[in-house]
A and B are shown apart, each in its own frame.
Chain A
């Protein structure tokens, strides 16, 4: 029981590491968006909205990791 809980806590930590990928992806996207705005400042509005949507989609994986961590910590199907 205790070991299952300990491993669950570790697993939750590892699951949250998915945020790293999302962070890198969003960083790339934002950098490209800044380049695009620098090249074409008049298209700022549409670039920004596209960036926001893209960042939100890229964030999904990180959110999945976060939800898995929550499940492991608070719902934990393994200890029932």
Chain B
């Protein structure tokens, strides 16, 4: 019991755990100021800036997301446009090809007919040329024959009537004639 009393007295001297008097009221005032200053300071200089930072970041991110969505939509519409264009181009290609084919065929036929005509023309001319040549050859031959007969006649008259000579002469002439004929 004595020690218990001692504790009580020591508590009175050194300090206390709980008490309701003017001293407590003053302590309450001091602590009220302390806590108020601290809490308001923390709210103003720690909570608020971080929160505004986070809100701004969230806004920025949502803006970026929106921008990305817009870009995607744009890209999709562009792709659709391109698809349509590509289909158009395919059709055009086919039609152009078809037209070119037709044109080429037409041209080819034209060329073929022209070539045929040309060939006919050339053939006709050639035939005419050949005929002319034949006629000329006939005329040459006639002239040669006349020349030959003249020559023969000349020889007959100039040479002796030697039978042997006559034979050799004739053979000579004939061989010359053959030569000539062969040459022609």
Contact = CB atoms under 8 A, between A and B. Distances in A.
Interface residues of B, number: 9
B4 A9 contact: yes
A interface secondary structure, majority: helix
B8 interface: yes
A71 interface: yes
B146 interface: no
B1 A74 contact: no
B26 interface: no
B interface secondary structure, majority: mixed
Interface string B8-25: 100100001111000000
B153 interface: no
A74 B14 CA distance: 12
B161 interface: no
B5 interface: yes
A2 B18 contact: no
A71 B18 contact: yes
Q: How large is the interface on A (under 10, 10 to 19, 20 to 34, 35 or more residues)?
A: 10 to 19
B5 A75 contact: no
A75 B4 contact: no
9 smallest A-B Cβ distances: which pairs?
Answer: A74-B17, A75-B18, A75-B19, A74-B11, A70-B17, A70-B18, A71-B18, A2-B1, A74-B18
Contacts of B8: 74, 76
A71 B5 CA distance: 15
A78 interface: no
Contacts of B11: 74
Nearest to B20: A75
Interface in A41-69: 67
Contacts of B17: 70, 74-75
A63 B13 CA distance: 27
Interface in B1-59: 1, 4-5, 8, 11, 16-19
A38 to B, nearest CB: 37
